[in-house]
Structure 1
Amino acid sequence: MPVISKLYCSYSQVVFVARRTPHVVNGGGFAVTNCSQLVVFWVDGCGILGTKGEIVLRDMEGDALLLKRGRVEALSIHKRRKGYTSDYKGTKKLVFTLKEPRSCLAKNDAIRISTEPKRSKNWDFEINGYFPERDCSIIDSVSNIVPLVIGVKKEVEEVMASKDLYHVVVKPGTGQDFVFGVIAVLDYIHGESTRC
């Protein structure tokens, strides 16, 4: 079952390349290309949007697929970041909530994702690994790996010292829009290209 849309699901495994876009005046974000080097998605950071904490995932036509907003809860031990879609009328619909522990009192330090409508009681997906090192994956609640952020290829890593270019492998039947929506949130959490 796709989390956001069936339109961005594939029957076979797909490899994408994500590359950071340059920070122009208060800008930032990243672009996602397919094996033909065509831009499939791009993410606008808060500098482009002008609103701190907001990120937009766009398709190749420039249409907004997902809007991410952060939420501060004073009494919670988690930071909640919510992903919304909007219909043709502009009505926003919650599709996922990403919970990031912000306290040493949290029982588990894993970042967990709940989808709407809920698939399980507590959480549907979990981030396994560490995004800043480009070595992480998204697993579902029964430990199936959904996508895998492979990272920088060795031959490219020798040329580039930074982690501005990395590969993402998306498994068959997984919503690519959901995967890059989650990656955009991880990018923001770790203060990378989408952060002001």
Structure 2
Amino acid sequence: MEFPTIVSPQYCSPEHVKLSVAKHLVDFNHGNFVITDSNGTTLFKLDHKKVMLRELTVLRDGGDCPVVSIHKKAISLHDTYQVYRGESHQELFTVKDKHMRDGNEETYEVQLEGAPEPQFEVKGDFVRRNYQIIFDGTTIVAEVAKKHFSITSFLTGKNKYGVTINPNVDQAFIAAVVTVMEAIHNEGKEKDGKGDKSSSDSD
């Protein structure tokens, strides 16, 4: 099954790719959110000049060029996030809460701009960072798994988890979806008054 290129073919690899997501436990809203490859090279990071969920958030590459920008739709029956190319007004896709819950498992839909219906589902346990991004109902294109805290992560105050992306899948698209999921989880903790030190972050 051919996977659509959503952001750019430059972010596609013919091999499996393993990325690491790291965020400071306290400072996620200030942009200390970085996605690196297996060599530790920064691929994507949040624009530290923006405030997550309160205005446009820009996901930049390692050279500080804007890749996508993310905006939460203010008036919507569902939690809806709109993702644009770079810092333009060209919408690429939306992420929307499907309002399906089975215990700790939730489901979100991803609909590409111009498509008649959602092509992707994001399903799993977002609190524990264990979820899958599924294309066309059956094909898993990326999996997110929480990594256990290490002494290094404890000392640096960083929380890390991994993302495994299948061959020929747009890594920038996956990074944008992961960023939205992180934003949703972070906002949920703020609403609950738990902050980023919530015990829900532990396995």
TM-score range, shorter chain: 0.7 to 0.9
**Cα distance in 2 between the residues matched to 1:142 and 1:24:** 35
How many Å apart are 1:38 and its aligned residue? 1.1
Verify: 1:157 aligned to 2:149, yes or no.
Answer: yes
Once residues 133 and 29 of structure 2 are traced to their aligned partners in structure 1, the CA distance between those partners, rounded to angstroms, is 30
Alignment of 1:55-70 (within 5 A): 55-70=57-72
Match of 1:178 in 2: 173
> Are 2:47 and 1:44 aligned?
yes
Q: Is the 8 A contact 1:77 1:101 kept in 2?
A: no
The question of 1:132 aligning with 2:105 is answered no
Q: TM-score, normalised by structure 1?
A: 0.79
Structure with bigger helix share is: 2
Q: What TM-score, normalized by structure 2, do the two folds share?
A: 0.76
Tell me: CA distance 1:135–1:42, structure 2 relative to 1, closer, same or farther (3 Å). same
Q: Any gaps of 5 or more consecutive residues in structure 2?
A: 196-203
RMSD of the alignment, in Å? 2.8
Structure 1 unaligned spans of 5+? none
Pick from 72, 97, 102: which aligns with 1:100?
Answer: 97
Distance in 2, matches of 1:92 and 1:151, equals: 33
Q: Name the counterpart of 2:31.
A: 28
Seen in structure 2, the aligned counterparts of structure 1 residues 111 and 29 have a Cα distance that, compared at 3 Å, is: farther
Letter in 2 for 1:69: H
- Map 1:67-146 → 2, pairs under 5 A: 67-73=69-75, 76-86=76-86, 91-101=88-98, 110-118=107-115, 121-146=116-141
CA distance in 2, matches of 1:41, 1:117: 26
Amino acid aligned to 1:40: L
Identity of aligned residues (%): 24
User: Residues 21 and 31 of structure 1 are in contact (CA less than 8 Å); yes or no, is this contact kept in structure 2?
Assistant: no
- Shift, 1:134, TM fit: 1.4
Residues of 2 paired with 1:25 and 1:149: CA distance? 18
1:125–1:141: 8 Å Cα contact kept in structure 2? yes
The aligned length equals: 178
| C-alpha separation in 1, matches of 2:29 and 2:163 | 27
